[in-house]
């Protein structure tokens, strides 16, 4: 007796109504996100291949694949055939606005692609509104809490705190470091070559006193940080979770990413407000995103407005 035979007749799905399993051509087996493509979406394979050739990040390709997959589930059909009215109805189900913005920004390029290629005459996503990105205040960890955190951290976590708080590295960038990523210039300054978001490579300085604490623990070659349990290098999630758990254990509500905010804020003040220096440190393509990372010290702002010109005559 098979598993299907054990299902009561009244609960069996008629053969003609069962979902078909769509096999993808072998040429796309190596495309990021291939494992997620369980719903048929016409021209998705071509679009993903175009994204790869255009240099889009693997994470972006996977996210778009997943977004179209869930859109297909909502539509109960192929997203290629969606109408503008259907996409309006789908977008109305996305809450909060930050989710609406994220999901909308993921599916719109697919429809632009199929229209540009002549596969569709119209673009049903063209009039979907894109909510503005939320403007949040930067939340750098305070100097007092940061110094307390590094003073009590065990060596493994300490090195990650230093790279985030003084060199502004993301958890993924720290996890991806190899011994070969570090090199000293003619002055002895150590630089770390990291691969940031969007496969953008940059070099960031590592303070000498930080390097003195980091270098002794590095292996002769290869990945800098091996897993404490299992084999292979650590992942971004491992770095982030371990550091977040440590900060919480110290009674701090700050996240590990707040150390990157701190590095940006302190670099801004140390350079006299040089936004390009902060941009190079963080690896952001757009200067406009720096407001999320850099915070003007209240004392600086208060001193600035107090120094503004004032009337010479007495006011009543």
Instruction: State what percent of residues in the chain have pLDDT above 90.
Output: 57
The structural domains of the chain, with segments of one domain joined by +, span 27-116, 143-298
Rounded to the nearest integer, the mean pLDDT of the chain is 82
Distance (Å, whole) CA 52 – CA 60: 10
Q: Which residue has the higher pLDDT, 192 or 268?
A: 192
Per-residue pLDDT tens for 145-155?
A: 999 999 999 99
Mean pLDDT of 21-50: 64
Q: What is the pLDDT of residue 304?
A: 54
Q: What is the pLDDT of residue 306?
A: 60
182-184/190-195 β-pairing:
antiparallel
Q: Please give the C-alpha separations between residue 226 and each of 159, 175, 218, 229, 235, in angstroms, as whole numbers.
A: 13, 9, 10, 9, 10
Residue 103 has pLDDT above 90, yes or no: yes
Beta bridge partners of 202: 194
Q: Which residue has the higher pLDDT, 303 or 81?
A: 81
Its sign, for the CA torsion 45, 47, 48, 54, is positive
Q: Please give the C-alpha separations between residue 78 and each of 25, 61, 252, 304, in angstroms, as whole numbers.
A: 18, 19, 47, 58
Q: What is the pLDDT of residue 300?
A: 53
Q: What is the pLDDT of residue 244?
A: 97
From the CA atom positions of the chain, what is the Rg in Å? Answer: 26
Mean pLDDT of 67-83: 95
Mean pLDDT of 283-296: 59
201-206/190-195 β-pairing:
antiparallel
Q: Which residue has the higher pLDDT, 176 or 293?
A: 176
Q: Which residue has the higher pLDDT, 132 or 250?
A: 250
Residue 17 has pLDDT above 70, yes or no: no
Mean pLDDT of 72-88: 96
Q: Which residues are tagged catalytic?
A: 170, 197, 257, 260, 284, 293
Question: According to the 3-state scheme, what is the secondary structure of 39-74?
Answer: CCCCCHHHHHHHHHHCCCCHHHHHHHHHHHHHHHHH
Q: What is the largest CA-CA distance in the chain?
A: 100
- For 61, the token pair is 């390709």
CATH superfamily of 143-298: Intergrase catalytic core (1.10.443.10)
Mean pLDDT of 12-20: 41
Residue 291 has pLDDT above 90, yes or no: no
pTM over 0.85, yes/no = no
Residue 231 has pLDDT above 70, yes or no: yes
Mean pLDDT of 86-101: 95
Distance (Å, whole) CA 209 – CA 97: 44
Q: What is the pLDDT of residue 52?
A: 93
Per-residue pLDDT tens for 153-197?
A: 999 999 999 999 999 999 999 999 999 999 998 888 999 999 887
Mean pLDDT of 212-240: 90
Q: What is the pLDDT of residue 14?
A: 44
Q: What is the pLDDT of residue 35?
A: 45
Mean pLDDT of 76-91: 96
């Amino acid at each position: 007796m098979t598993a299907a035979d054990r299902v009561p007749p009244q609960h069996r799905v008629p053969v003609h109504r069962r979902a078909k399993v769509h096999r993808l051509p072998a040429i796309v087996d190596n495309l990021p996100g291939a494992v997620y493509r369980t719903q048929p979406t016409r021209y998705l394979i071509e679009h993903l291949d175009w994204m790869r050739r255009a240099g889009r990040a693997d994470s972006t390709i996977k996210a778009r694949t997943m977004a179209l997959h869930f859109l297909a589930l909502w539509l109960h059909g192929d997203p290629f055939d969606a109408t503008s009215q259907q996409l309006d109805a789908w977008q109305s189900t996305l809450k909060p606005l930050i989710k609406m913005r994220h999901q909308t920004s993921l599916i719109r390029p697919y429809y632009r692609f199929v229209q540009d290629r002549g596969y569709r005459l119209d673009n049903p996503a063209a009039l979907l509104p894109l909510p503005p990105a939320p403007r949040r205040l930067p939340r750098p960890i305070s100097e007092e809490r940061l110094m307390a955190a590094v003073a009590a951290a065990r060596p493994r976590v300490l090195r990650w705190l230093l790279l985030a708080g003084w060199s502004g590295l993301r958890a993924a960038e720290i996890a991806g470091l190899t011994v070969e990523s570090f090199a000293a210039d003619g002055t002895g300054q150590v630089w770390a070559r990291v691969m940031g978001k969007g496969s953008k490579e940059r070099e960031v300085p590592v303070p000498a006193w930080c390097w003195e604490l980091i270098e002794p623990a590095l292996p002769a070659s290869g990945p800098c940080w091996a897993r404490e349990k299992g084999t292979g290098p650590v992942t971004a999630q491992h770095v982030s979770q371990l550091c977040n758990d440590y900060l919480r254990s110290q009674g701090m509500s700050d996240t590990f990413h707040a150390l990157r905010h701190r590095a940006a804020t302190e670099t801004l003040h140390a350079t006299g407000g040089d936004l390009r220096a902060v941009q190079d440190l963080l690896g952001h393509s757009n200067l406009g995103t720096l407001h999320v990372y850099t915070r003007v010290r209240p004392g600086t702002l208060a001193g600035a407005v107090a120094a503004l010109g004032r009337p010479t005559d007495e006011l009543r």
